Amino acid sequence: MLLPRRQLPLNALRAFETAARHSNLRSAARELGVTHGAVSRQVRQLEGRLGVTLFERSHNRLSLTSAGQRLMQTVGEAFDQIARSTLYLDPDSMAGSLVIGSTPSITLGWLLRVIGEFHGKYPEVQLELRNITPEEKNLPAALDVAICYGLPEAGPRAVSVLFTEQYFPVCSPALISSGEPLRRPQDLLKYPLLDDQHNHWTRWFEHLGASTPNPVKRLFVQESYQVISAVREGYGVGLVDRIEVARDLRQGNLVALFEDRVAAPHSHYLVHDPEPQLTLRARVFVEFLHQSLQVLLA
């Protein structure tokens, strides 16, 4: 049954959510500051409105039915989101410095766009970007948040995997518009291959079961963002991750040549203080980063 928004029984939903968390009506009543009977009535009224049984009742304990589990997931997430949003109502609570560390390739490849959008939404936050090296072992203590390539030694700080890059070949449309056709991966050897210090081309061909290539035309650069810049200029074919070139592919500035992909040898990791010590600014940025990555990786 679909209830119009204006008819949503908010008090009954709150009673249901609290009872579901505690699996007990008396505990829910103590949290809500009402009587046991009041919570029971609210829950039964909600079941009547929805036309389903939400709880199985046995020996003063409650267990959710399948319908109750579905409703609890939605209602619980909604209440959590409302609670989180109250943190951000006062702009003064966000004011202050936020120091973010990342490698130059991460910063120029995709993070700078995320940071720019974040600053546009939260201009009261004073952002400072600092360079770190890939697989840096000792992260500076001054960093509030760090995005690392490779698992760092973070000490007591929280570490989680953001994503693992998946490399595939791209080039400028102009490069192949009048050149040799590309029917199989080995045909890429007819064009200059752009590579960085990680030697992704060797791993990509090996992933396809092909022998390690020895192309006549090859250009080595130091960082992956330099590969992308050279590809955009039409200097050759490069292996990139979608997060780095999604906009170029949508706008037709680059074209994907083959769908075969090889995973990067290391993942990207997010590092920050443990939740109890995390500042509001850092918490908001971490949530914003995750939301942005969902869009970029879609």
Percent of the chain residues past pLDDT 70, beyond the cut: 94
Q: Where in the chain is the domain with CATH 1.10.10.10?
A: 5-88
CA 46, distance to chain mean position in Å, is: 36
Tell me whether strands 145-149 and 166-171 are parallel, antiparallel or unpaired: unpaired
- Which pair of structure tokens corresponds to residue 267? 């993942």
Q: For the chain, how big is the Rg over CA atoms in Å?
A: 26
Q: Which residues, 6 or more positions from 271, have their beta carbon under 8 angstroms from its beta carbon? A: 139, 143, 145, 146, 147, 148, 152, 154, 157, 158, 159
pTM: 0.66
Q: Dump pLDDT digits (tens) for 199-209.
A: 788 889 888 88
Question: Residues 107-117: what's their mean pLDDT?
Answer: 92
Smallest Cα–Cα separation from 282: which of 89, 118, 107, 113?
118
Tell me the pairing of strands 193-195 and 145-149.
unpaired
CATH for the stretch 166-263:
3.40.190.10
- Number of neighbouring beta carbons within 10 Å of residue 12: 20
Phi and psi, residue 67, nearest 5°:
-65, -40
Question: Which tokens go with 152?
Answer: 């760092």
- Select from 164, 165, 196, 166 the least CA-distant residue to 261: 166
Within 10 Å of residue 23's Cβ, how many Cβ atoms? 14
The CATH code belonging to domain 5-88 is 1.10.10.10
Model confidence at 295, pLDDT cuts 50, 70, 90, reads confident
Instruction: Give the tens place of pLDDT for each residue, 153-188.
Output: 888 899 999 999 999 999 999 888 877 778 888 888
Is the pLDDT reported for residue 267 higher than 80?
Answer: yes
Number of Cα atoms under 13 Å in the Cβ half of residue 41: 6
Residue 104 has pLDDT above 80, yes or no: yes
Q: What pLDDT is attached to residue 88?
A: 60
From the candidate CATH numbers 3.40.50.10310, 3.40.50.2300, 3.40.190.10, 3.40.50.720, the one assigned to the domain spanning 93-162+267-296: 3.40.190.10
Say what percent of the chain tops pLDDT 90.
39
Q: What angle do CA 212, 259, 149 make, to 5 degrees?
A: 70
Range(s) within the chain of domains with CATH label 3.40.190.10: 93-162+267-296, 166-263
